[in-house]
Structure 1
């Protein structure tokens, strides 16, 4: 009669195939030993029933637990490092974008300042050029002015002081004029109050022939009483007027744009 070993059941943890093979080998060896011992005993010996408790192989060993803990710690550290690197990359990208924007803004401000300085320099140069032009024109017509005396000279001097000013319809000075406002302002310097518009100025004073002009005579274009433009004769076949928006206040040759008539108020 063979001997059997009764093995109590234990909890069944998850085992690897190598550990299951090891347990099976151990159990087989023990059972073989028991069988041999039983067969060698007396024939009349009582059956032996023996309970053998096999050692349970688990993952609860300190070495394995330590290895698992180290692995978990390493995984957590790697996750933290990756998160930190992501945050650093985002911060670097944000800083680069801010720096690029600041650079663009600085360049825009610098360009605006450069244009403002250039505009200011141009304005100064234009004022200087206008002043020089007035001086040159005044010198070129000095002989004509010297031939005029008293009130006529005062009128012409005022007109020449406005050379280079802008022509603006309806403007009355001090830096922009239309044709009739400039004539009116010039004669006001000598106490003569002329009408405001060209039509009325062409009727002021005494009508004179264009062949008998004197410095200070008022020239008009169009019919007397319906004139559309006025200027003042300054001698040597020239007149001064607020011509148009493209020319402004200028001295022109009467032969280039002959007047329709003239009146004398001085």
Structure 2
């Protein structure tokens, strides 16, 4: 190669003035910033950086009061609903109990009514049977009256008027008459109700005479007398002697006092109302 030959130069091309100015401005700005940062970091009087604390939001007092009121109101509503439920349950239980009690009371009342009706029907049946038996015995009564003696034991004079009761007979009749209007109750022995034999027994007890309780046994007491020779205080019976089903007390004047049945109670009636079968004299 020739020494004169052209060798390309390695020198960088020269930049334009405008570009150099821009680069110088940028470099100057950077250096200024670095200088200020160094000065700030080297300054001993610089205060340490302050920590930043996040503040919690403060609850507004009015809002807190509203929340508390809402909670209390919700609790009150819950208690009120529970109380209403309890009261409803108690009311339902009470209604159920009242319904059951009413049902039992109705059944009990019906049972009592049925029992009373049965007793009344039985008493009426017995009264009807008594009347039928008495009617069948009237023929026997007629014959007994025709054959009756009119001897000294007869308390009637020739006009057929019965002498008034005296002494013990009067006390018996007065007691029996004082019971007129009281109720007939089967098995009753006083003082508010009687059956037929209970009345006779109570009347004779007034004069110290103790009679059996049943009409069958009462008709077996004393001495048999004819119906034409009756005296006040004699015990009348219906049926047969020793097997009578009804008794009463002869009160004189063709009448008797007796506890007839549940329909009539204790009455004083004429012998013709229900003629007896026979009579016994105990006094």
What's the TM-score once normalised by structure 1's chain length? 0.50
Measure how far apart 1:152 and its partner are.
1.7
Is 2:163 the partner of 1:183? no
For the 8 Å contact 1:145–1:234, the answer to whether it is kept is no
Which residue number in structure 1 is paired with residue 189 of structure 2?
172
Measure how far apart 1:154 and its partner are.
1.0
2:214 to 157, 175, 197: 197
Distance 1:241 1:82, change over 3 A: same
Structure 2, unaligned runs of 5 or more: 1-20, 38-51, 95-160
- Aligned pairs for 1:211-230 within 5 A: 211-230=228-247
Which residue number in structure 1 is paired with residue 266 of structure 2?
249
Counting matched residue pairs gives 177
Which residue number in structure 2 is paired with residue 74 of structure 1?
66
Which residue number in structure 2 is paired with residue 147 of structure 1?
164
Distance 1:81 1:264, change over 3 A: closer
Alignment root-mean-square deviation, CA: 4.4
For residue 42 of structure 1, give the secondary structure of its aligned residue in structure 2.
Answer: helix
Measure how far apart 1:221 and its partner are.
0.2
Distance 1:223 1:70, change over 3 A: closer
Structure showing greater radius of gyration is 2
Higher RCO (Cα < 8 Å, 6 or more apart): 2
Which residue number in structure 2 is paired with residue 43 of structure 1?
23
Which residue number in structure 2 is paired with residue 238 of structure 1?
255
What's the TM-score once normalised by structure 2's chain length? 0.48
Measure how far apart 1:237 and its partner are.
3.2
Structure 1, unaligned runs of 5 or more: 1-40, 52-57, 102-143
Distance 1:223 1:247, change over 3 A: same
